[in-house]
Chains A and B, each alone.
Chain A
């Protein structure tokens, strides 16, 4: 039950620099990532931030390339906000929220060029690899956007090509090669900043999300030793001042390295 009283207390406490669960303003809850959680997928992962849990899977198919890029593979990112994750999600066709989430993750991946789609060609102009990333939040305890991006990236980083027949005409589903996808070092990490009163926080709980009036997602990656911003998305009903946005950009730059390191450690430890 959303409570105005609790919302006010959260804002009040934040103005003292404190959060209900004792975290710092830009501190993430415990991040835990498992890969290879679904055997039939070419790549899969479970990402947990606190109790927020998202599953993601990578499936490969074959498709005709787009006419304006006859040598590029095709990438498609979808998200289903299953009603199992929250009483706020309704069954039915994808809601605007689920489409927004998918598109934020899509842009983060596409713009970072972490996947070299030009290396996903099978026969120029005729046949290319189709890369499907499907994301399923299964428990919403706040901050789905960041968890969804981590799950998608973890699945991608550990994905392999499936076996095909000799002529590369079709895929032998269920059998896998050991060949990983053509990926670069530029792994995107999404950081969604939430505004509550005059305070800006990262990784909100459900209560904190309910108390917030606006959010700004910044996806960053390391492009040849330089940190760049690949995607941004502002959400929520209140506007933000230029000062607030600059503060967020500075914070993103400051925090990116730390979060990326945590993400990397989690992937490597599996």
Chain B
């Protein structure tokens, strides 16, 4: 019970850092393509994914149009992962250097975990490869994300090497939907499938359960969300799907 509570708190810690569009869940939004006029008039301001041209606001990304008061922006449905400081991500150790590890987190720049940011106390005699080996999957946090490179850390609570379970990959733009408002969606899936789930902001998700069938059910639910992220009423749909599937198995 205690460990479950800690897990929930850790998820909420992720929430504070992640951007979870508040109204994203329930409304059905309009799809825009680059060049579309999505708003007219001096009242509106262009947000992310949009620009102003004279009196018009023009979309510059393929995605969903959303209004926040006067701000018109695009929620992308696709595209590369944009790393931000504080993001919790899942990555794989690609290579070891004399002072740390090169990690693949599906970002467009190199990501590096210095040995000083590793989990356990490290004596100066230890080789990085004896702590984390190539191929290890880690839950890390982004300490800084600059165009030159990304610095990672394992030094915070909730960051660790992954064991067991399986990982899946979705587009990073769908992650907020998988997490849901204040973690509502992912927590519902955890409860219904009896699995631990760690969602990386970079779109890599780890699922760990007692039975592989449970993990596969959670995977199915997550892929469903990723496929229908533009729809409304998604939490109810996914919950209904999970309950129905579980009752079939009985």
Any A–B CB pair closer than 8 Å: yes
Measured CB to CB, the residues of A under 8 A from B are 1-6, 8-9, 12-13, 16, 18, 20
Determine which residue in A6, A8, A12 has the highest number of CB atoms from chain B within 10 A of its CB, and name it: A6
Among B92, B106, B206, B212, the residue within 8 A (CB) of A13 is B212
A261 to chain B, nearest CB (A): 31
B215 touches A4 (CB 8 A): no
Report, nearest first, the 6 A-B pairs whose CB atoms are least far apart. A9-B166, A6-B166, A3-B167, A4-B135, A13-B212, A6-B167
For this complex, 20 residue pairs linking A to B, each with C-beta atoms less than 8 Å apart, are A1-B92, A1-B106, A1-B169, A3-B166, A3-B167, A4-B136, A4-B137, A5-B137, A5-B162, A5-B163, A5-B164, A5-B166, A5-B167, A5-B206, A6-B166, A8-B164, A9-B165, A9-B166, A9-B212, A13-B212
Within 8 A of A (CB), among B156-198: 162-169
A244 to chain B, nearest CB (A): 24
A1 touches B167 (CB 8 A): yes
Q: Which A residues lie within 8 Å of B106 (CB)?
A: 1
Determine which residue in A2, A9, A16 has the highest number of CB atoms from chain B within 10 A of its CB, and name it: A9
Measured CB to CB, the residues of B under 8 A from A are 92, 104, 106, 135-137, 162-169, 204, 206, 212, 215-216
Other contacts beyond A9-B166, A12-B212: 4, CB < 8 A: A3-B167, A5-B162, A5-B167, A20-B216
Q: Which A residues lie within 8 Å of B104 (CB)?
A: 1
Determine which residue in B204, B215, B216 has the highest number of CB atoms from chain A within 10 A of its CB, and name it: B216
A1 touches B166 (CB 8 A): no
Q: Which A residues lie within 8 Å of B164 (CB)?
A: 5, 8
A3 touches B215 (CB 8 A): no
Q: Which A residues lie within 8 Å of B163 (CB)?
A: 5
Q: Which B residues lie within 8 Å of A6 (CB)?
A: 166-168
Q: Which B residues lie within 8 Å of A5 (CB)?
A: 137, 162-167, 206
A6 to chain B, nearest CB (A): 4
A51 to chain B, nearest CB (A): 14
Cα A3 to Cα B104 with chains together (Å): 11
Cα A162 to Cα B204 with chains together (Å): 52
Cα A13 to Cα B168 with chains together (Å): 16
Considering the complex, give the chain B residue whose CB is closest to the CB of A4. B135
A12 to chain B, nearest CB (A): 7
B95 to chain A, nearest CB (A): 14
Cα A12 to Cα B164 with chains together (Å): 11
Considering the complex, give the chain A residue whose CB is closest to the CB of B163. A5
Considering the complex, give the chain B residue whose CB is closest to the CB of A19. B216
A1 touches B162 (CB 8 A): no
Considering the complex, give the chain A residue whose CB is closest to the CB of B90. A1
Q: A9-B165, A9-B166 are in contact. Are A3 and B216 (CB under 8 A)?
A: no
Q: Which B residues lie within 8 Å of A13 (CB)?
A: 212
Considering the complex, give the chain A residue whose CB is closest to the CB of B202. A1
Cα A13 to Cα B166 with chains together (Å): 12
Q: Which B residues lie within 8 Å of A3 (CB)?
A: 92, 137, 166-167
Cα A4 to Cα B165 with chains together (Å): 10
Among A2, A8, A9, A16, the residue within 8 A (CB) of B215 is A9
A2 to chain B, nearest CB (A): 8
B86 to chain A, nearest CB (A): 22
Cα A13 to Cα B211 with chains together (Å): 10
Cα A56 to Cα B206 with chains together (Å): 39
A208 to chain B, nearest CB (A): 13
Cα A5 to Cα B167 with chains together (Å): 7
Cα A16 to Cα B211 with chains together (Å): 12
B212 touches A1 (CB 8 A): no
A70 to chain B, nearest CB (A): 56
Q: Which B residues lie within 8 Å of A12 (CB)?
A: 212
Considering the complex, give the chain B residue whose CB is closest to the CB of A18. B212
B100 to chain A, nearest CB (A): 20
Considering the complex, give the chain A residue whose CB is closest to the CB of B208. A5
B132 to chain A, nearest CB (A): 12
Cα A20 to Cα B207 with chains together (Å): 14
Cα A1 to Cα B168 with chains together (Å): 9
A254 to chain B, nearest CB (A): 27
A10 to chain B, nearest CB (A): 8
Cα A18 to Cα B212 with chains together (Å): 10
Q: Which B residues lie within 8 Å of A1 (CB)?
A: 92, 104, 106, 167, 169, 204
Cα A3 to Cα B167 with chains together (Å): 7
Cα A12 to Cα B211 with chains together (Å): 11
Q: Which A residues lie within 8 Å of B206 (CB)?
A: 5
A166 to chain B, nearest CB (A): 55
